[in-house]
């Protein structure tokens, strides 16, 4: 890895290879992994919620780990609404039998749970299929987010 590049964890729409190739043409997948102790949820608005991860013991979220340049990161910052919608954190992820540290976007607090829009969900679903991830994790995240929103 180039010393000026960094590792980035994707768990939502940036799992979609075509979308990432368009947005960050110099980014490259270096492997898949797992964020242990985290769960996937959708937050933001009632019917247009977007993906985030939140700490939860016993849960895990499948991820792709990308090597990105500073130009890729700037493009991701714009897409993710950093620093207003998402913040950046460095977390540990299990990848290829070892633990690596990488940057991840996590939604800022205060956004209600909700249902993702059909198109947005389909972009993530395509990414899950391309990566060979368990589709039940994505389905459960959408269902739980809607249930949380309805319980409010």
pLDDT tens across 131-149, in order?
999 999 999 999 999 999 8
Q: What is the pTM of this model?
A: 0.95
What crossing angle do the helices spanning 135-151 and 118-131 adopt, rounded to 10°? 150
Sequence ranges of the domains in the chain: 6-151
Please give the average per-residue pLDDT across 49-57, as a whole number: 97
What is the CATH code for 6-151?
3.10.490.10
pLDDT tens across 61-112, in order?
999 999 999 999 999 999 999 999 999 999 999 998 999 999 999 999 999 9
Q: In whole angstroms, give the CA distance from residue 38 to residue 40.
A: 7
- Is the pLDDT reported for residue 151 higher than 90? no
Q: Are 91 and 35 in contact (CB under 8 A)?
A: yes
């Amino acid at each position: 890895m180039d010393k000026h590049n960094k590792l980035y964890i994707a768990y939502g729409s940036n799992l979609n290879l075509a979308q990432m190739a368009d947005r960050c043409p110099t980014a490259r997948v270096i492997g898949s992994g797992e964020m242990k102790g985290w769960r996937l949820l959708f937050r933001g608005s009632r019917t247009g919620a977007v993906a985030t991860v939140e700490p939860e013991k016993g849960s895990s979220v499948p991820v792709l780990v990308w090597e990105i340049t500073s130009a890729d990161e700037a493009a991701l910052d714009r897409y993710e609404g950093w620093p207003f919608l998402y913040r950046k954190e460095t977390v540990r992820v299990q990848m290829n039998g070892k633990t690596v540290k990488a940057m991840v976007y996590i939604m800022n607090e205060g956004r209600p749970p909700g249902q993702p829009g059909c198109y947005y969900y389909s972009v993530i679903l395509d990414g899950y299929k391309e990566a060979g991830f368990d589709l039940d994790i994505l389905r459960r995240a959408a269902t739980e987010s809607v249930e949380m929103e309805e319980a409010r």
